[in-house]
Structure 1
Amino acid sequence: MFTIRKATVADCDLINRLAQQSFPATYRDILSPEQIDYMMDWMYAPANIRKQMEAEGHVYLLAYNPGEQPVGYVSVQPEGANTFHLQKIYVLPSCQGQHCGRFLFEQAVSYIKSVHPAPCLMELNVNRHNKALHFYEHMGMRKLREGDFPIGNGYYMNDYIMGLDI
């Protein structure tokens, strides 16, 4: 139903546009508008996406619907010898409930297996009040720890760190 494509730096504006539609919708009942704006710039300004790709090792995968419209993205980053971090996974609100999140999650796992065939761990941070927590548990992830992580400007990410053995 969906197709996947590895993003390049030429896709930074596209990822930014997808984020502008999905990120605030995900967090509007959890975070203040000011924190959402701060995080959008911190994570999704095109220059910051480019930096993530070129300097920080993020690999973005873009999901497309059958009409070849981009509908979501996931990003994975290596962290150490046997750990990867699923940094971002978002689906446009209009496409939620169509299994695109599952598709993106499975593509992230497949990507990790393709670059690291040995057993490893995939971690992700999820806000403790995000309804996606249940999705991640359904996908086999378990809570490893929790924390309040300062991100600047007096803001924190209040997250569970979840893990999946791959």
Structure 2
Amino acid sequence: MLTYKKASLNDIPIIMDLAERSWKVTYKDIISAEQIEYMFNNSYSYDPLKNQMAEQGHTFLIAYEEENPVGFASFSLIGKTTFKLHKLYVVPETQGKGIGRYLVEAVIREVKRLGASILELNVNRYNAKAKAFYDRIGFEVYKEVDIPLGDFFLNDYILRKKL
């Protein structure tokens, strides 16, 4: 049985563990090892996660299968009625069980209660698996962007779903 809960600062170690188990594997064939380390260290260590929650207004949801944490998502308000899904990761050994869809549906319920009309996200243009997932659940390409990040670029699609 799947459940989720809103994360608190006390849950950061759980998010860090889930990120360690899922994030690097997701990008190992898409971006360089150097970019993976840079992005991981700047997004998924304790202080950046604490900053995202406490300063940047990100809400994190952790998915549980029985009592085991198996994935997480984060979102925040970016416009009057537009929210951004910043993160969605499921540990590899549980992928294909509907946990990603479950988390997106949970995010949609949460943001609709907050008045959302659009949910937006970035997906790497070379992450065909993630892009296909988002296509299947109703997201559409809004625009293509290349975002500088340190010595690297994020080559993304911005996807949107009307709620």
Q: Quickly name the TM-score band, shorter chain normalised.
A: over 0.9
What corresponds to 2:113 in structure 1?
A: 114
- Specify the alignment match of 1:133 in structure 2: 131
1:64-117 Cα distance to aligned partner (Å, 9 max, x none): 002x1000000001102111000000000000011101101101101101222x
| Cα offset, 1:165, TM superposition | 0.6
Q: Identity over aligned residues, as a percent? A: 41
Structure 1 counterpart of 2:4, which letter? I
2:152 paired residue number? 155
CA distance in 1, matches of 2:46, 2:102: 25
Q: Number of paired residues?
A: 162
The runs of at least 4 aligned residues of structure 1 exceeding 3 Å deviation read none
Give the 3-state SS of the residue equivalent to 2:30 in structure 1.
coil
TM-score normalised according to structure 1 size: 0.95
SS in 1 for 2:74: strand
Give runs of aligned pairs for residues 1-80 of structure 1, distance below 5 A.
Answer: 1-66=1-66, 68-80=67-79
Residue aligned with 1:41, SS: helix
> In the alignment, residue 7 of structure 1 is paired with which amino acid?
A
The alignment's C-alpha RMSD in Å is: 0.8
Structure 1 gap segments, 5+ residues each: none
> Whole-Å Cα distance in 1 between the matches of residues 98 and 37 of structure 2?
28
- Please report the TM-score for the alignment, with normalisation by the length of structure 2: 0.97
Q: Secondary structure at the match of 2:36?
A: helix
- Cα distance in 2 between the residues matched to 1:96 and 1:72: 9
Q: CA deviation at 1:156?
A: 1.0
Please name the residue that 1:92 is paired with.
Answer: 91
Secondary structure of the equivalent of 2:57? Answer: coil
What amino acid is the match of 1:41? Answer: N
